[in-house]
Chains A and B, each alone.
With several copies, the nearest count.
Chain A
């Protein structure tokens, strides 16, 4: 049997597993081999999961599954990482006149459409009584966003790790807010094709265990992890990688119905902002629990 795993270079735990071969070894005992599929962004990864080109995916931000659900994709949650609210933050350049969230009114802010930071922006604006209509939003992928941000084409950027730590290290920035004030918990979810989960629960179980171990290893060996990840992430300075990892929980947990409560909030916010064409029931998708 083959297990087709989709991952991104920025998928920390999958990258760790891919590098230390531990998942391969464990699955080999079950007679399963792995095919790794690398994607340059989360979008084509879920596309592929939806049409059945891969079986399971690495982590994606909490907002992403909602769009897949809206499109009727047949996906199952099989793991999540505990919230990392500090993993994304709204930053401005040092000399910016933006001091508080209120100052954002009328300003130009860049986020990535449908990514975790998109929701953080909505939530942050809402917390001070603003909506997306009160600011000028520029939707850009992180690479373009950083160029636009550094050039001063936009006034603020909501970056996520590892781009956040990189920017903090190389540009003079200030942080206006991150998700830690209860704005957005920034949970990352692991998804799989439902038919595959139903047919191979024991494989999912093994993957879940391995991810859990990898998370623990990263948290316990930050330096080694940074050394491992730095070359994968475009030859970043290992110190920056270490800083970035500190903002992520890497605590792999089972998905719970309560945990999906925030998902519903996100879905409703996107629907209210006209970003989703119709309302979505976030709890609609099956959840795989360890021990099943």
Chain B
């Protein structure tokens, strides 16, 4: 018993520490490469320089300001986009007609690069917040659409048949069978969306922005401030980690019944 609990403790330690192993090794290698002059620090800043830039922007509060602005845009876009994606995914997933009508169109729109779309977006929505949020909506809707669709399709048809023959339909069928059955796939979609949310924001924030993390990154790039560029990349990576943790949290919460999502070995 005591061995088992020891093993558990060491597992927990490994669980929280190991995910950072690869990033830390990468950063050490990078610092070494710059320190030993294998890479010129003129073109690739050392981690310490990036930390310094980070410190500078943190001390001035600038970074929080940019993050805050971006976060608002991201959140609003995600809520709208996620909602649309979910709704369309449900329509396509639940009705054969819906699929025929919608799926092709959605797949086509999904494939249009935001970068190419920017001129049209400006035409339609101007250069203010609406345009930026529209792009985030566009970016976040599709992963949730596709995974909702896929999740619904892959619900055990025997269970659907059972539920229908037990008199379930409409909302009860949705909450009792469809949503939980598709949930693990929808959450994968959420993971994507949370990532794409930041990705599209960088394009969105090239549209006449003077705040936001995408602005910070592109502005720095334009002025060849590599330390800030790399800082922004690190920030994005951390935001990705955060989004991932959020998705994991939801998975643990909503998929408790699912053997694959229960903690432990």
Contacts and interface: CB of A to CB of B under 8 A. Distances in A.
Q: Do chains A and B touch in the complex (CB under 8 A)?
A: yes
Interface of A: 6, 9-10, 36-41, 43-48, 50-51, 53-54, 67-68, 70-74, 110, 113-114, 137-144, 146-148, 150-151, 153-154, 163, 166, 170-171, 233-236, 275-277
Contact of A50 (B43, B206, B208, B220): B43
A1 B218 CA distance: 31
B224 A143 contact: yes
Nearest to B205: A40
Contacts of B208: 6, 37-39, 44-45, 48, 53-54, 110, 138-140, 144, 148
18 contacts: A38-B209, A38-B215, A40-B209, A40-B222, A41-B222, A43-B221, A45-B208, A53-B122, A68-B224, A70-B225, A74-B42, A143-B223, A144-B207, A151-B123, A163-B224, A171-B42, A234-B219, A234-B228
B207 A67 contact: no
A44 B207 CA distance: 7
Contacts of B126: 53, 148, 151, 153
B155 interface: no
Interface centre among B40, B43, B123, B209 (most CB of A within 10 A): B43
A154 B224 CA distance: 17
B70 interface: no
Given A110-B208, A140-B207, A148 B122 contact: yes
A148 B219 CA distance: 19
B222 A142 contact: yes
B58 interface: no
B122 A51 contact: yes
B222 A113 contact: yes
A146 B221 CA distance: 11
Interface of B: 40, 42-43, 118-119, 122-123, 126-128, 206-210, 215, 218-226, 228
Contact of B43 (A44, A150, A166): A150
Residue among B40, B220, B225, B228 facing the most chain A CB atoms (10 A cut-off): B225
A179 B24 CA distance: 49
Contact of A71 (B128, B209, B218, B223): B223
Is the contact region of chain A dominated by helix, strand, or loop, or is it mixed?
mixed
Nearest to B225: A234
A57 B40 CA distance: 22
A38 B210 contact: yes
Contacts of B219: 9, 40, 113, 234
A37 B127 contact: yes
A210 B225 CA distance: 31
Which of B128, B215, B219, B222 has its CB near the most chain A CB atoms (within 10 A)? B222
A15 to B, nearest CB: 12
A40 B122 contact: no
Contact of B122 (A44, A235, A236): A44
B216 to A, nearest CB: 11
B122 A151 contact: yes
Given A37-B208, A44-B208, A234 B123 contact: no
Given A47-B224, A110-B208, A138-B127, 6 more contacts: A38-B208, A40-B206, A40-B219, A41-B222, A44-B207, A276-B223
B118 A144 contact: yes
A80 B223 CA distance: 21
A182 to B, nearest CB: 27
Nearest to A71: B224
A100 B228 CA distance: 37
B264 to A, nearest CB: 48
A43 B122 contact: no
A113 B218 CA distance: 10
A137 B219 CA distance: 14
A48 B122 contact: yes
> Which of B40, B123, B218: most chain A Cβ within 10 A?
B123
